[in-house]
Amino acid sequence: MLRDDARTLTCASNLGGFSVDRVACTLGYTLSDQRGSLSFSEIKGIEYQARVDWASLEEFVLGFDATDLLPQYRDTIEWFSIAAVTHRGKRIPLYLRGNFRHREFLMGWYIELQTVFLTRLGLLEDMEENSRSVLDRILAHADGVELI
């Protein structure tokens, strides 16, 4: 979060940056290949998605064994994304962040303890909480725009 005050919300993510201007009722965005601005009336809604993918490359780098073939022991990446959807159906990605989740046979308790410890020290960020916070702030600033 770069700026969050009564008038403007400005945020940067892996995709680029965006700003929500409450007074001008506009959403401005800058992505790697595009830049633009939308009025709130052009936006059908804000889309929030959470997805879990198998981290196959990371699995092989960290060591692959037979238990990694079982879904409960596969390393995963949890992706959280936020996009603005226009009435014409165009999706404008605003936010994308991911969490790597390492899982090993009989080591779940240790990995969970390690995650809690690193999070409390501020060395590991909870991407789900962060993405929901950004979503809540976007919806608070963009009057009349709803979650779809």
pLDDT (tens digit per residue) in 30-66: 988 889 999 999 999 999 999 999 888 877 777 777 7
Q: Is residue 76 part of a domain?
A: yes
Q: Is residue 91 part of a domain?
A: yes
What is the span of the domain harbouring residue 137?
Answer: 3-141
pLDDT band at 86 (very low <50, low <70, confident <90, very high): very high
Q: Is residue 47 part of a domain?
A: yes
Cα gap 98→65, rounded to integer Å: 24
Q: Is residue 54 part of a domain?
A: yes
Q: Encode 14-43: b = buried (16+ Cβ within 10 Å), e = exposed.
A: ebbbbbbbbeebbbbbeeeeeeeebebeeb
CB 29 within 8 A of CB 94: yes
Enclosing H/E stretch for 136: helix 127-141
Q: Please tell me the total count of domains within the chain.
A: 1
Q: Is residue 48 part of a domain?
A: yes
Other beta carbons within 10 angstroms of residue 128's beta carbon come to: 13
Q: Is residue 148 part of a domain?
A: no
Other beta carbons within 10 angstroms of residue 121's beta carbon come to: 8
End-to-end CA distance of the chain: 23
Whether residue 1 is predicted with pLDDT greater than 80 in this model: the reply is no
Q: Is residue 146 part of a domain?
A: no
Q: Is residue 147 part of a domain?
A: no
Q: Which two tokens stand for residue 90?
A: 């165009």
